[in-house]
A and B are shown apart, each in its own frame.
Chain A
Amino acid sequence: MEDVETIVRDRLGTRRVSGIRMQETRNADGESVLRIFVVYDGGSAAPTPEEMQGVISDLWEKAIRDGRPDYVVPSFISSDDARNLRTA
């Protein structure tokens, strides 16, 4: 989990990331799915598509290297939306 936070903050910069929430679940086939919610403070802090892709690439590289989880599912959400988020 700490590695995930490091990957995200290294890519986006610590100040632009106001929080990272994670939710482990399983899909209908029983495969492990790690949802990662990267929260940013709206406006100029929003990541560009290039930055999002960088995070996605780094997280998949790690997942394949570690052999788990089966799926990493990063989501980039504004802090306004994050208030309604239900995560474990």
Chain B
Amino acid sequence: MPGTSGRLSLDLIKCSAKRISAPATCTEADLRRATSDLDYALFHALCEELAQLVAEAPTDAGYRDSFTMLYRMPNHGPVVQRCRDAIGRSDMTTVQKEFAETLMTMKAKRDLADYDPFAVFNISEVGNDLMNVTRTLNRFLAEKEKERRRLALFLGLDVRRAR
């Protein structure tokens, strides 16, 4: 599994924290990149869950291809659309709904951070986003494996092909 902590999602949280660790010297670019890191942390958490389906033999060439294929399966646009569906479903847990809500919020913030030259970001805002995303990710990772997988499959699969 990529990432020094075993999960790229957790490494991305650390990256975000590092970028804003010295507020006095923090630049606009630091705030924007830190915001982007947080969205990618949640997105990669989904990719990691999907790839875990074939993670038992990661050094085997055949599994490696399948691992990569599953890891790359989620697309940002469709994932956000599925997040809307997840929030409206009564069979999703609170943690799953919170994950979907935070992912949609951070996706919108990342779009602003990456592409809107007039968007304004502040240190307190990004610091609060860091706290919230960290909480969301930790709660997601503390869920039962089957519930993490269910959400990852629900959000990450191409439903046009699955139906």
Binding site for B on A (CB under 8 A): 25, 27-28, 33, 35, 37, 46-47, 49-50, 52-53, 56-57, 60-61, 64, 71-78, 80-82, 84-86
CB distance A53 to B136 under 8 Å? yes
Given that A73-B108, A78-B124 are known contacts, is A49 also in contact with B87, CB under 8 Å in the complex? no
B61 contacts the other chain (CB 8 A): no
- In the assembled complex, which residues on chain A have CB atoms less than 8 Å from the CB atom of B111? 27-28
Tell me, rounded to whole Å, the shortest Cβ–Cβ distance linking B76 to chain A: 11
Tell me, rounded to whole Å, the shortest Cβ–Cβ distance linking A86 to chain B: 6
B158 contacts the other chain (CB 8 A): no
B57 contacts the other chain (CB 8 A): no
Q: Which of B104, B131, B132, B136 has the most CB of A within 10 A?
A: B132
- Interface of B, helix, strand, loop or mixed by DSSP: helix
- In the assembled complex, which residues on chain A have CB atoms less than 8 Å from the CB atom of B134? 49
CB distance A81 to B124 under 8 Å? yes
Given that A53-B98, A84-B120 are known contacts, is A60 also in contact with B125, CB under 8 Å in the complex? no
B109 contacts the other chain (CB 8 A): yes
CB distance A73 to B109 under 8 Å? yes
The 3 closest A-B CB pairs, nearest first, are A81-B122, A71-B108, A78-B124
Tell me, rounded to whole Å, the shortest Cβ–Cβ distance linking B141 to chain A: 15
CA distance in complex: A78, B125 (Å): 8
B88 contacts the other chain (CB 8 A): yes
CB distance B122 to A74 under 8 Å? no
CB distance A77 to B135 under 8 Å? no
